[in-house]
């Protein structure tokens, strides 16, 4: 099955810093989503981005489907950005399983 790898596994930032999280996937995908799991365990949908670039406030994401990777950019990080960021992909033609990466655990220090 499709493999989803995220890097780095852990990240510590000083408040105000910028960061880039990466997601590599091993096969063609129908869609790709980025989620933020906050310290209370809630999964928040950040982006639905099978290709191209999207921006939402301090966050933006880019997916290059032909090269099988996606990037999540966090600018001017805040303590509330702490949590785990998951990349999840829907497998190619006819697929319906969303496969999650292991996540990047982010801690933003005040």
Partner 1 sequence: NAGVMQNPRHLVRRRGQEARLRCSPMKGHSHVYWYRQLPEEGLKFMVYLQKENIIDESGMPKERFSAEFPKEGPSILRIQQVVRGDSAAYFCASSEASGSRNYGYTFGSGTRLTVV
Q: How far is the CB of 13 from partner 1 (least distance, A)?
A: 20
21: contact with partner 1 by CB under 8 A? no
User: Binding to partner 1 by residue 103, rule CB under 8 A?
Assistant: yes
Does the footprint of partner 1 cover residue 56 (CB under 8 A)? no
95 forms part of the interface with partner 1 (CB under 8 A): yes
Residue 18 CA to residue 75 CA, distance in Å, equals 4
Taking CB under 8 A as the rule, does residue 65 contact partner 1? Answer: no
Beta-carbon contacts of 29 under 8 Å, excluding residues fewer than 6 positions away, are: 2, 50, 65, 68, 89, 90, 91, 92
Q: Is 93 in the site for partner 1 (CB under 8 A)?
A: yes
> 43-65 burial by CB neighbour count: b if 16+ within 10 A, else e?
eeebbebeeeeeeeeebbbbbeb
Kindly state the smallest distance separating residue 86's Cβ from partner 1, in Å. 6
User: Which lies closer to partner 1 via its Cβ, residue 27 or residue 75?
Assistant: 27
């Amino acid at each position: 099955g499709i493999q989803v790898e995220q890097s780095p596994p852990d990240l510590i930032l000083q408040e105000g810093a910028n960061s880039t999280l990466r997601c590599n996937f091993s096969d063609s995908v129908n869609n790709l989503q980025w989620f933020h799991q906050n310290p209370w365990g809630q999964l928040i949908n950040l982006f639905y981005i099978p290709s191209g670039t999207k921006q939402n406030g301090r966050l933006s994401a880019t997916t290059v489907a032909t090269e099988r990777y996606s990037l999540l950019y966090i600018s001017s990080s805040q303590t509330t950005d702490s949590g785990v960021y998951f990349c999840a992909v829907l497998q190619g033609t006819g697929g319906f399983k969303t496969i999650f990466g292991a996540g990047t655990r982010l801690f933003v220090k005040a």
